[in-house]
Structure formats: structure tokens, C-alpha cells
Amino acid sequence: MATQAQALSFAPTQQMITDADASLMHIVARPGVVFVRGKGSYMWDADDRRYLDFIQGWAVNCLGHSPPALVRALSRQAKVLLNASPALHNPLIIETAKLLTENSALDRVFFASSGAEANEGALKLARRYGQKHRNGAFEVITTWNSFHGRTLAMMSATGKQAWEPLFEPKVPGFVKVPFNDLTAMRKAITPNTAAIMVEPVQGEGGVNVATKRYMKGLRELCDETGVLLILDEIQTGIGRTGSLFAYEQFDIEPDIMTLGKGLGGGFPVSALLSKEKVSVFEPGDQGGTYCGQPLAMIAAKTVIEEMLRKNIPRKAKNRGNYLKRQLKFMSKEFRFTDVRGMGLLVAVDLPQEKGPAIVAKALEEGLLINAPGAATLRFMPALTISRAEIDEMIEILRKVLRAVL
């Protein structure tokens, strides 16, 4: 393997870190490690050290690092057609849209590149619908602790307290209410409300799972009032929670749904889906240079086909239950205050605000995990993870927690 790493021929790690400090915008404090390759549940750094990856590109690499089927499909397509033009047909955009509509409760698809871009599209669609069918209603109700992306409108939609003072003035038209609180949602609806937008599980907010009662209640509220129900499934979709889409487990159907992250298995692609009656865009309303380009489409198509062919969502559910069981076994020793999640989107709450210290120590020990809050750890491995790899993670985590807590 050393020869493989050497063949990649990068500058020495310290040189790369110095160059990064000098040339990249400082948007996040990255650790002093440079990752050069990945396979399945593992990544290797420039010094050929192996890490067990429970972040997977931020819940993106649903089939693991460089899955053979995706690598083959992308390589083949790269030789055939990269970008036709968003204003021209290509076979893959048609086939991928068909695959999504045939396997979901939604009827129409618009493709984009990032989650925030798909969510922007969802908001525009809701406003367009409000204009046409609800006397110009334009407001969207979102929830506290939600995360919808980093464009200006999505930062305005997101319910992160720390973002409230940033980049003022925000995009108007968002109202925020507590998550899992139907009464607050009912009270917030006015004639100006075009849509409600929620995540079935708030991922960035710390893996807060919606109750079935809440999701069913939202659907009923929307049916009663004519307000649209938008589900942001950018993190929960494509098998992550144990079904192809999380909404299936709540026995409801959204009017609009957004997908990203796992959809491309590591390749940047996202999608906005809607019911037929809500599909009110007119030519000129929506678009983008990279929307539906063949390389992104082959990635999405391959990922969905793999999900269906190998029933990966079911495996994610089983592995997720196993992971939660193992974490619960550790609860007593480390006094976790909660272990929760759906499928392979799992979190534990710690008795102390040691999340960042644990993440740093885990990195030293060859494990990549995330702390979405000071006292919370999040686990979002590949959906193809094995029990042995989960056991390996638990062993490393136990060692790390004994050192830090």
C-alpha cells in the first residue's frame, strides 16, 4: 500500500499544511492531516496511516469510499459525455428522474449540485405555488436546530441560534418554531404561510428524530390548511435512516422533498422532487449550468440502483440497530445520557462537554467521528459498513473515552 500512496506523489504533509494555511480561506479549523485515498470504510493520509471513517464525507459516501460500481460507471461515462447542456436532453437525466419517481411518492424532479441549491429550489417552488394557488402566500415555517444549507436564503431558513446575527439582513419570509411541537407549528400558520420545511431527523442539530405523531400531525395540518409540506431529506434520504426515504417510516408523503449527500455517493448531485400538483415552475423559473449533467446523473443512477439491488436501506437499519446496541452497552461505563438515531444516523449525548476533545483524540487513534454539539457525538458511517468495522470503532471509542472522560 505504501507504494500506492507514494505513487500519488504529494508534497510532505507539513509542507501541504503550510501551503493550506497560506492559500485557503479560513472557513474551518482542519486537523493537521491530509487525506489522499479511501476504500470502503477506511481512508489513508499522506503518510499512509489508516483511519476508520464514521463521517464518510459528512454522510455522503453511502456506499463507502470509491465503491467499485460507482468508479466503473463514472469512468465509463467520463469517456462518453461530461456535459451536454442543461437546456438539452441527455439519456441519463431522463433515466435517473424516472428511477426516482418510480421509487418515491413524488412525480417530478429537478436536479442540482448541492443540498442548499436543491433547498433553494424547494423554497422557490413553494413561493411560486403560493403565488398561483394561495393568494401570494410566501412564508415558510422551519424549526429551531434545523440545518438547510449555507446560501444566504438557507442560512435564513436554518434554525441555528448562532447564525441569527450573521450576514444581516437575512432573506425575509422565514418563521421558526420548536421541533416536534405541533401546537407551535399550528399557531405559526397564517394566510401568508406557503410551506412548512422540516428534516425527518435533524442531522446537524444533533440527530433529533421527529416523532411519528409529529410528522403525521404536520401532514394533517398541511392537508387542513393547504400549506405545502417540504421534507429536507438531504441527510436522511437514500437509505441513511433504514428506508430509501425517511418519510416512508412515518407513513406520510411530502408535497416536496429534497435530496443530496448520499444521492451521488460522493459525487456532487442533489434533487428537488414534487408532487404533480405542486410542480408549478414555468420555463425560466429555475435552472443552473450543472443541473442534470451526465456525470452527476450516472452517479445518482448507479447509487439508487445499488441501493435497490442490494437492499442497502434494510442493511443500514440492521447495522444501525447493532451500532445503537453496542453504544448502549457502553452507556453505563461512560454515563451517556442518551443514545438515539434512525438507521445509520446515530448520536450519543455525553455527560460532559468533551465532544471536540473526543473527536481530536479519536483522530489520533485512527478514527473519524463528528461532534455536532459540545456534548454530542454523531456516527454516520457508510451504509455498507460491516459488524466487524462497527466493533472496531467501538473498541477505539472505548479507549478514547477512557482517556478523555
Q: Which is nearer to ligand PLP, 115 or 400 (CB)?
A: 115
Closest approach, Cβ 267 to ligand PLP, in A, equals 12
Cα 305 from Cα 307, distance rounded (Å): 5
The strand pair at 270-274 and 108-112 is best described as antiparallel
H helices present in 148-244, as ranges: 152-157, 182-188, 212-225
Closest approach, Cβ 279 to ligand PLP, in A, equals 21
Q: Which is nearer to ligand PLP, 326 or 370 (CB)?
A: 370
Cα angle 126, 341, 208; round to 5:
50
β strands within 233-369, DSSP E = 256-259, 270-274, 338-342, 345-349, 367-368
Q: Which amino acid is it at 362?
A: A
Q: Which is nearer to ligand PLP, 137 or 257 (CB)?
A: 257
Cα 172 from Cα 174, distance rounded (Å): 6
User: Could you give the residue numbers annotated as active site?
Assistant: 147, 232, 261
Q: What residue is closest to ligand PLP based on CB?
A: 115
Residue that is written with C-alpha cell 479549523 in the block: 29
Q: Which is nearer to ligand PLP, 232 or 349 (CB)?
A: 232
Closest approach, Cβ 280 to ligand PLP, in A, equals 23
Q: Which is nearer to ligand PLP, 204 or 349 (CB)?
A: 204
What cell was used for 122?
A: 424547494
Closest approach, Cβ 311 to ligand PLP, in A, equals 24
380 within 8 A of 52, measured Cβ to Cβ: no
β strands within 94-249, DSSP E = 108-112, 139-143, 174-177, 193-198, 201-202, 208-209, 228-232
Closest approach, Cβ 367 to ligand PLP, in A, equals 21
User: How many other C-beta atoms can be found within 10 angstroms of the C-beta atom of residue 382?
Assistant: 29
Binding footprint of ligand PLP on the chain (CB under 6 A): 58, 114-116, 119, 147-149, 199, 203-204, 232, 234-235, 260
